[in-house]
Amino acid sequence: MRVIALGGAGMMGRFAVRDLASKESVEDLLIADYNLEEAEALARELGPKCRACKVDANDHAQMVETVRGFDVAMGTIGPFYKYEKKVAGACIEAGVNYVSICDDYDAAADFMALDEAAKKAGVTAITGVGWTPGITNVFARLGADQLDEVDEIATSWACDPADTAGKAVTLHYLHAVTGMIPSYIDGRMQYIKAGSGLERITFPPTVGAVDCFHAGHPEPVTIPRYIDCRSVTLKGGLTDVFLVQLCNLIVAAKLTDSERKKDIVGGFFNKLLPYLENIGKPPETCSACRTDITGKKNGKWVHLAYGAAAHMDMLTCLPTSIAVQMVGEGRVVEKGALAPEACLPPQEFLKRLAEGGVRLYEGDDMTRPLTL
């Protein structure tokens, strides 16, 4: 298959690019990035099947021509509240299948509006195939398929700030904890205050228990479209309490209530984080996610819980690489603008994820390896 990695030289994208380059099924891999120098260096490192070009997500005509002719486009250009609809729209216009790691709730809603265009173009476009959303959504589908009726789906994540780098990641976090964010409660979409609903949630080892709160993410936006249930929520938290408090102060001071302010604060954080991260840094960093599904089976209430843990780049971009491969192999046949829970076969997807090194767990205490 021929794959184009949009933003493939970035902090997140390069993990998926390396994984795709290692697969025999990928015959041609174009690393398209705004930073041509980084893209060329990565292409040289990965060998003859890889090449590089410069791409500007704000240049629609260039985007369409750049992706045209490929089997699948992988999207890792963030922040997604700025770029997801632009990039996905260009791929759909070019008639190219698309898989992204989009993790912004408003971008996911805009993406869903492209459904009819994608169907007319015969394109499979899947948003949010990363860590969260992505693994969390597939867990939701895995659990829902085992129940007769689903009542509540609670998704959550815990991030070690020392586990990643990059401006887009910082901007995403600030975006997620600012203002009023969507949550699907009692059968309808409601907007609640980001940072509310503090809850201590147990994640897989080595992350453990982390204080989490409501944050803006795509899960409550997409899951109710495909799984009939009463409520879908998302809570997230950082393992570094000091950074949580610092972010809360910045948000309370209204320093993140516009794109321009987020860009400025994000730049400040990226300069500061390398120093803060080394204070009390553990020998091995790790992030995690969890999905709890509650419903009925044979008239009895059932609670299912699934979790995943790994270094953030693997946790985020191995799912993307797997989904790109599954689309290119014809394992995903649905057309339209979709989310992972709508089209990715849970058992196969999670098996490939485990084989790639992500640790999967089940059970409320998150200590039992997931049996697939």
* 28 in the same domain as 94: yes
- Domain presence at residue 288: yes
- Domain span at residue 345 reads 2-130+313-356
pLDDT of residue 11: 85
* 116 in the same domain as 62: yes
- Domain presence at residue 191: yes
pLDDT of residue 285: 80
Q: Three-state secondary structure along 183-242?
A: EEECCEEEEEECCCCCEEEECCCCCCEEEEEECCCCHHHHHHHHCCCCEEEEEEEECCHH
- The label of the residue with tokens 């697969």 reads 23
* 282 in the same domain as 174: yes
pLDDT of residue 239: 79
What SS3 class is residue 136?
Answer: helix
* 228 in the same domain as 83: no
Indicate the residue type of 72.
V
- Domain presence at residue 111: yes
pLDDT of residue 177: 76
- The DSSP secondary-structure symbol of 283 reads S
Q: How many domains does the chain have?
A: 2
pLDDT of residue 246: 58
**Last residue of one domain, picked from the residues 275, 310, 345:** 310
* 29 in the same domain as 67: yes
- The label of the residue with tokens 């980001």 reads 194
- Domain presence at residue 365: no
- Domain presence at residue 367: no
Low-confidence residues in the chain, pLDDT < 70: 163-173, 240-284
CATH of the domain at 141: 3.30.360.10
pLDDT of residue 159: 87
* 305 in the same domain as 259: yes
Select from 324, 314, 369, 313 the least CA-distant residue to 349: 324
CATH of the domain at 11: 3.40.50.720
pLDDT of residue 263: 61
Residues forming beta bridges with residue 149, ordered by sequence position: 296
pLDDT of residue 253: 66
62 vs 221: CA distance, rounded Å: 30
Helix or strand (DSSP H, E) at 293: strand 287-297
Please list the alpha-helical segments (H only) found in 278-345. Answer: 312-328, 340-343
CA distance readout (Å), 362 to 7, 26, 147, 278, 357: 33, 33, 16, 32, 16
pLDDT of residue 247: 59
* 105 in the same domain as 29: yes
Terminus-to-terminus CA distance in the chain, angstroms?
28
pLDDT of residue 168: 46
Q: Is the peptide bond prior to 340 cis by the omega test (within 30 degrees of 0)?
A: no
192 vs 37: CA distance, rounded Å: 43
* 264 in the same domain as 169: yes
* 280 in the same domain as 350: no
- Domain presence at residue 114: yes
pLDDT of residue 167: 46
pLDDT of residue 166: 47
* 206 in the same domain as 64: no
* 225 in the same domain as 121: no
- Domain presence at residue 170: yes
* 158 in the same domain as 219: yes
Cα-based angle 240, 246, 249 (whole degrees, multiple of 5): 145
- Cβ burial of 298 (10 Å; 0-12, 13-18, 19+) is exposed
- Cβ burial of 191 (10 Å; 0-12, 13-18, 19+) is exposed
Q: Do the strands 124-126 and 336-338 form a parallel or antiparallel pair, or are they unpaired?
A: parallel
- Domain presence at residue 65: yes
